[in-house]
Amino acid sequence: MKNSIIFHLSANKELAKKIAKIAKLPLGKVDIRKFADGEIMCRNLSNVRGKDVYIVQSTANPAQDNIFEILIFADSLRNSDAKSVNLVVPYFGYARQDRVALPGEPITAKVVANMYQAAMIDKIITIDLHTQQIQGFFSCPVINLDTFELFGDYFVKYFDENGVKQSDVVVVAPDHGSALRARDLGSMFNGASIAFIDKRRPAPNKSEVINVVGNVNGKTCVIVDDMIDTCGTINNAYDALIDHGAKEVYVCATHAVFSTGKLKSEIKGVVVTDSIERNIKGVKVLSVANILAEAILNN
């Protein structure tokens, strides 16, 4: 890895610095310009000849600008004779558009994958993809990392310090898509159980709870999801759990999208990661820098 270098673009500047420090790799320099007409230019200012380059850039809002920066800078690196151009995209934008739900809809996640491959990206490292099937849209290697150990270690310590028995913990999946996340996080506790929220989506960014599957009465609940966006899913899950007798409710999610809305103030604690740079009052942020640095060094 001595012949590797890390770059950040407009997103994840602090995360990239942390990764470079942990991995003991140099942080490259790039000149990013946005012109009056809206065009973007990303110029490499470092020697990358014969080097393995890692671009750290989440594609959250503004998703289009962040994606286009990646495409442009990948070309700059190829023109600078980089040995390989690898993308570390902690939050993979457009991941929720991974299938045709209604006639005429595009599979935008696949379109994004095709653009990265057209830019000759050699490898993708990401965290907690919305669905595993997105990996199949790529012909290059895609490394999808988990965060359940990061959250598990945090909550085990937190509950121990605050007198919560692990056997009184219920890990809750707010929908069917988070069932595996709930199972993995639940494995971090001794004697914890799992519950599921059965819901439906009448429209995009809207959800309705149908039922709670599992016993949460008198329990400390931890809702786990891949992201918090409009807060509707989490807030509805909270209401359902309290209605079913939950003692208290915590929330953890890898990606702090928070595009609109806000979480209920009654939620005991909210924990996210720095996959997207956010500074939200009352929200605990855990860093994924170690996870990503290890992936870069070992893959």
- Residues serving a catalytic function are 199
Residue 286 and residue 121 in contact, taking contact as beta carbons nearer than 8 Å: no
User: Under a CB-based contact definition with an 8 Å cutoff, are residues 59 and 134 in contact?
Assistant: no
Q: How crowded is the C-beta side of 259, counted as CA atoms within 13 Å? A: 10
198 with 210: CB under 8 angstroms?
yes
**Close Cβ partners of 273 (under 8 Å, ≥ 6 residues apart):** 90, 127, 147, 150, 254, 255, 256, 285, 286, 287, 288
Q: Where are the beta strands (DSSP E) in 91-148?
A: 123-127, 142-145
The one-letter amino acid code at 159 reads F
Q: Any idea which residue has 């040995």 for tokens? A: 83
State how far the Cα of 167 lies from the Cα of 183, in Å rounded to an integer: 15
- HSE at residue 103, side-chain half, CA atoms within 13 A, is 0
Q: In terms of C-beta distances under 8 Å and separation of at least 24 residues, what long-range contacts does 161-164 make, across chains too? A: 164/220
Name residues whose C-beta falls within 8 Å of residue 263's C-beta, 6 or more positions apart in sequence. 228, 231, 234, 235, 251, 270
From 38, 98, 90, select the one nearest 68 (Cα to Cα).
38
Which amino acid is residue 1, in one-letter code? M
